[in-house]
Each structure stands twice: as structure tokens, then as C-alpha cells.
């Protein structure tokens, strides 16, 4: 069965974006970008909220990204455009790039997606991740901690009374100081 994986970058102080939605503090160099590409290439679908989808669609299908002189950027552009995407939004009426619009996260629909053959499903965006977490649908957390304190912004995890026990299964330090913390939910 496929897994639902939250894969997201955070600052050392726990924020996914600055107070005005800035993500320009991410330390994505060639090594980390190549790693992301290699991991995401094998996924079965991207599960994205509206904000993440619009951010991605704003750049990755453009001529600049598609025809980039940087082969790592061009590679990710192809991965993003070709990957099936499920966009969770109540307001978006039309989406391109192999995208299916879903109006709500329905547990039975996600479980049916997980039962299909293919690669794992990767969740992008804090709001959608919070909903998946609330519904107990995240199987693994791939948290990329960037070596910066941004002070304020949108935290990855909102306050909750929901307790989730996790097992550390991998760590990896990249040359730019980013550290991957990979956790999975232990078998019940």
C-alpha cells in the first residue's frame, strides 16, 4: 500500500514561511535540489493545497523553468508538470498540468488512492498537512530543517490536542547545513 508523506522545509525555529509568505530563506542548492528530484520522481502523486499549487504553477511550467540552463531545475520542472496532482480547494475552478481538483479531504478517497498501485503520495502545504494530520492520514514526515531562525511566520504545526507518536527512521545532513529528519508512524 502506498504511503502519504508530508515533505516540507522548515526554519530551525519551526516556520514554513515568513510573515509575508516568504520562502526565500530556503537553502536549496544543487545537492539538495537533486536529492528532492530523485525522491519526488518516484512518487505517485502530489497532494497540494491551493496556495502551494498556485505557487508551483506560477513557475514550474514556465519557459524559464522548462528550458533552464540548470539541468536540475529543468528536471524538476518536468517532474512537477508530469506528476499527477490532486488539488484540494473550494475556490479553484480549473487547473492544468495533470491536476484533479478535490473540494475536501475525504478519508475514504485518500485510503482508496493509497490502495492504488504506484509510488507514494506527497502532501505539500501546511494547511493541507494540518487537515491530513487531523484526519490521521500522514504515514511519514520528511522534515527538512534549514539552518536559519526567521523569528515569526507560519508554523508547520498548529496547536492541537492530537498526539502522534513517531519513530525516527533516517537523518541526513546536507553540505549546505540542511538536515533531513524522517519519521514514520510506528506499526500499531
| Residues 59, 135 contacting (CB under 8 angstroms) | no
The predicted structure's pLDDT at residue 35: 97
Give the mean model confidence (pLDDT) for residues 140-165: 91
Give the pLDDT of residue 188: 66
Q: What is the pLDDT of residues 4-24, one digit of tens each?
A: 999 999 999 999 999 988 888
Asked if residues 105 and 88 have their Cβ atoms less than 8 Å apart, the reply is yes
Q: What is the chain's mean pLDDT, rounded? A: 91
Longest dimension (CA), the chain: 48
Please give the model's pTM, rounded to 2 decimal places.
0.92
Query: How far is it, in rounded angstroms, from Cα 18 to Cα 129?
Result: 18
CATH hierarchy code of domain 4-184: 3.40.430.10
Q: Is the pLDDT of residue 151 over 90?
A: yes
Position 59 scores a pLDDT of 67
pLDDT for residue 70 is more than 90: no
3-state secondary structure the chain: CCCEEEEEEEECCCEEECCCCCCCCCCCCHHHHHHHHHHHHCCCEEEEEHHHHHHHHHHCCCHHHHCCCCHHHHHHHHHHHHCCEEEECCCCCCCCCCEEEECCCCHHHHHHHHHCCCCCEEEECHHHHHHHHHCCCCCEEEEEEECCCCCCCEECCCCCCCCCCCEEEEEEECCCCCEEEEEECCCC
Q: Phi, psi (5° rounding) for residue 5?
A: -120, 125
Q: Is the pLDDT of residue 157 over 90?
A: no
Q: Which of 125, 154, 126, 122 is nearest to 138 (CA)?
A: 122
Judge residue 49's burial from the number of C-beta atoms within 10 Å of its C-beta, 0-12 exposed, 13-18 middle, 19 or more buried.
Answer: buried
CA 82 to chain centre: 16
As a whole number of Å, the CA-based R_g of the chain is 16
Band of pLDDT at residue 69, cut at 50, 70 and 90: confident
Q: Tens of pLDDT along 101-150?
A: 999 999 999 999 999 999 999 998 888 999 999 999 999 999 999 999 99
CB atoms within 10 A of CB 145: 18
- pLDDT value at residue 54: 85
Checking if the pLDDT of 75 tops 80, the result is: yes
99 has pLDDT over 70: yes
Amino acid at each position: 500500500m502506498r504511503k502519504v508523506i508530508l515533505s516540507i522545509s522548515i526554519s530551525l525555529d519551526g516556520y514554513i514561511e515568513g510573515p509575508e509568505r516568504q520562502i526565500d530563506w530556503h537553502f536549496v542548492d544543487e545537492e539538495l535540489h537533486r536529492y528532492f528530484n530523485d525522491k519526488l520522481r518516484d512518487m505517485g502523486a502530489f497532494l497540494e493545497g491551493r496556495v502551494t499549487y498556485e505557487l508551483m504553477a506560477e513557475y514550474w511550467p514556465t519557459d524559464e523553468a522548462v528550458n533552464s540552463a540548470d539541468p536540475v531545475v529543468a528536471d524538476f520542472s518536468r517532474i512537477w508538470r508530469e506528476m499527477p496532482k490532486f488539488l484540494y480547494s473550494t475556490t479553484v475552478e480549473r487547473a492544468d498540468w495533470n491536476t484533479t481538483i478535490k473540494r475536501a479531504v475525504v478519508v475514504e478517497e485518500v485510503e482508496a488512492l493509497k490502495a492504488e498501485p504506484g509510488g507514494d503520495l506527497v502532501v505539500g502545504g501546511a494547511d493541507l498537512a494540518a487537515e491530513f494530520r487531523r484526519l490521521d492520514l500522514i504515514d511519514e514526515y520528511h522534515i527538512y530543517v534549514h539552518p536559519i531562525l526567521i523569528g515569526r511566520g507560519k508554523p508547520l504545526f498548529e496547536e492541537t490536542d492530537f498526539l502522534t507518536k513517531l519513530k525516527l527512521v533516517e537523518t541526513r545532513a546536507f553540505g549546505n547545513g540542511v538536515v533531513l529528519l524522517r519519521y514514520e508512524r510506528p506499526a500499531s
